[in-house]
Amino acid sequence: NSHSHRDCMWSLLRSPAQEAAVGWVGRTPLGPRRRQFLCSMFCRRVGKLYGLGLVNSRQSLAVCESLSAAAFCRRRLPCLLVKLRMAQNLRHAVTFVEQGHVRVGPEVVTDPALLVPRAVEDFITWVDASRLRQKVLDYNQERDDFDLAA
């Protein structure tokens, strides 16, 4: 069954974050240097998870416990295309990505499994030569006369 395989794969990705959140917190009392080291590592880990967009807050390590496979799936490029209203549904979004209509920053992306970090999310746009981009500009009446000549 493909769903159980997918869930198993994503659970392998999220398990180290959950183990760190649950396993290290409940240990025996530690020395001040070790405690300071663990606190800095926790802050880094939560910062990385926040930067990837997997958690919504940097405030607590408890957010790692609730990390799910769905959080990884929500950060994939087609899901963000639907969220940004660049596609009506996931099937169309996957098709747009596979056909090369979407770029993230300066790079054209053709892999729908790309995880998009929070910092790059604002740079998702249509490829300049894409017919879809031209149709969207025509529909919104934003197409420039200079673009018509090109």
Rg over alpha carbons for the chain, rounded to the nearest Å, is: 20
The tens digit of pLDDT for each residue in 89-132 reads 999 999 999 999 999 999 999 999 999 999 999 999 999 888 88
The tens digit of pLDDT for each residue in 65-92 reads 778 888 889 999 999 999 999 999 999 9
Domains present along the chain, CATH in parentheses: 2-71 (no CATH), 75-149 (3.10.290.10)
Residue with tokens 């957010």: 63
The sheet with strand 102-104 has its strands ordered as 107-108, 102-104, 124-126
Pairing of strands 107-108, 124-126: unpaired
Instruction: List the beta bridge partners of residue 103.
Output: 108, 125
